[in-house]
Amino acid sequence: MVQRQRHAMSGPIVLTGASGFLGKRLAALLCEQGFAVRAVYRRPEPPPELASLAERGVALIRADLDDEEGMKAALTGAQAVIHAAALARDWGPASAFKSSNVDATLRLLKAARAAGAQEFVFVSSISVHGFGSHKASSEEGPYYPLSHLYPRSKLEAEQAVLAENGPGFSACSLRLGYIFGPGDTTSSYRMFDAARRGAFGWIGSGRNRTSMVYVDDAAQALASALGKPTVAGQAINVVGDETISWRDFARAVYDAIGASGRPIGVPKALAWIGAALLSAGARVSGSIEGPPMTFYRVRRSTVEYVFSNGKAKRLLGFAPRTGIREGLALAAAAYNESLKRASSP
């Protein structure tokens, strides 16, 4: 694809979390749109999708966010920062969420300002609204008490980012809905694994609806925030146009991979008991990955969880292109290819 400079950026874009599910897609998109990109990752080696971007001019920088010298080098001369690195899970100790999501963001903010960066785009989560009844909720609310560590840490970090907005430093926060798509090994692929075993379904009635966003649409929204004065100081919800009930979503997951079984529902009370027992077992065993059922997942899937993307459309020109079933089909195709590669000699 021919690169084109879309914004008159005076310096490169520093992208943290570049080796993650969203980060890899965003790095590729920024490259395609002609931005000079510095992709920061902390794995010993960059994943192949990221490594291939080096041939197209993307600078790959291995550094941890607590590596002061490494991040200083990455940020020198940068025009903008997109901070996508995070501990994005529903299990773990409070100290881990504070360190990865709050403290790391504060350090990056300070370093970005010291380096002379002019823009800071924070990747937040729709979960900062809390789990309650959301029926096309906007950024104005409603908001519910946050009883889970992940959304609490994201909200604290988001508030710190927005507080830094001011003359010469534009800071905004994009609250992404549930992200899915090809390469999503931590969520989409696990759902496909469960469906193959006939173990994926819904909780309670399954009729509660939810908002989601396809990974490439989320990446486009983040790229669109660059160079836009109107987003300064703003929190913006980013979700697709389509909503779906968890019952229909479970059926769509089975259909996407051609699973022979059909999903079934689990009574809400039983799910709560299961989450309690499994969580207790995971704590005793010192599990890092956590149990297959958590209080977070039960809560998220048993409330109406629909949000408006009107502000994203107004300020970002957001125009989601991929619906839920189409996105699941694309994710399933990539998932099946990964299974073939894993089984080949």
Residue 120, H or E segment: strand 119-125
Identify the pLDDT of residue 110. 96
Look at strands 119-125 and 170-176 and give their pairing.
Answer: parallel
Residue 54 sits in a domain whose CATH number is 3.40.50.720
Q: Which residues of the chain have pLDDT under 70?
A: 1-8
326 occurs within a structural domain: no
Distances (CA, A) of 319 to 7, 124, 127, 326, 327: 19, 19, 22, 16, 15
Residue 337 lies in a domain: no
Classify residue 282: in a domain, yes or no.
no
For residue 266, tell me if it sits in a domain: no
What pLDDT sits at residue 333? 97
What pLDDT shows up at residue 260?
Answer: 86
- Residue 157 is assigned to a structural domain of this protein: yes
Q: For residue 163, what are the domain limits?
A: 13-183+212-240+306-321
Own/partner contacts of 58-67, CB < 8 Å, gap of 24 or more, are: 58/27, 58/31, 59/12, 60/18, 65/16, 65/104, 65/107, 65/108, 66/104, 66/107
| Alpha carbon of residue 266 to chain centroid | 27
Element (H, E) at 214: strand 209-214
93-143 pLDDT tens trace: 999 999 999 999 999 999 999 999 999 999 999 999 999 999 999 999 999
Domain-located, residue 292: no
Neighbours of 199 (CB within 10 A): 13
Q: How many domains does the chain have?
A: 1
Distance, CA of 212 to CA of 162 (rounded, Å): 24
For residue 249, being part of any structural domain is answered with no
Q: What pTM value is reported for the model?
A: 0.94
Single-letter amino acid, residue 162? L
| In-domain check, residue 286 | no
176 closest CA partner among 208, 225, 211:
211
Cα distance from N-terminal residue to C-terminal residue, the chain: 33
Q: Please check whether residue 289 is in contact with residue 91, taking contact to mean a CB–CB distance below 8 angstroms.
A: yes
